[in-house]
Amino acid sequence: MGINKRIVAGCLSACLICASIFAPRQAAAGISTQPSDAGLSVMAKKKQAVEYTIETDKLEYKDSKGRVRGIVSFSYPQFSGTSAFITKINQQIKKKSQNVLESEDAENIRDSTEYAIRENRFLSSEDQYYWTTECSETYNKDGIVSFAMTENWYAGGVHNRYDYGLNYDMRKEKKLTVQDVVAGKARKEILKAAKKYCGRDQTGYTAVKMTKKYNFYLSDGKVYICFGSYELGHGTSIDIFSVKGSY
Which pLDDT score is estimated for 49?
79
Nearest to 197 by CA among 157, 168, 159, 224: 224
What pTM, to 2 d.p., does this model score?
0.81
pLDDT digits (tens, 9 = 90+) for 137-190: 999 999 999 999 999 999 998 999 999 999 999 999 999 999 999 999 999 999
Q: What percentage of the chain has pLDDT greater than the value 90?
A: 80
Question: Where is 181: in which H helix or E strand?
Answer: helix 178-181
Q: Give me the long-range contacts of 58-66 (CB less than 8 A, separation at least 24).
A: 58/15, 58/16, 58/17, 58/19, 59/14, 59/15, 59/16, 59/101, 59/106, 59/110, 60/14, 60/15, 60/17, 61/12, 61/13, 61/14, 61/109, 61/110, 61/113, 61/114, 62/12, 62/13, 63/117, 64/117
Residue-level pLDDT at 107: 97
CA 148 to chain centre: 7
Model confidence at 87: pLDDT above 80: yes
Residues 4-57: tens digit of each pLDDT:
333 333 334 444 444 433 333 332 223 333 344 444 344 434 445 799 999 999
- C-alpha distances (whole Å) from 206 to each of 162, 202, 240, 241 are 19, 6, 15, 15
- Mean of the per-residue pLDDT values of the chain: 86
pLDDT of residue 147: 98
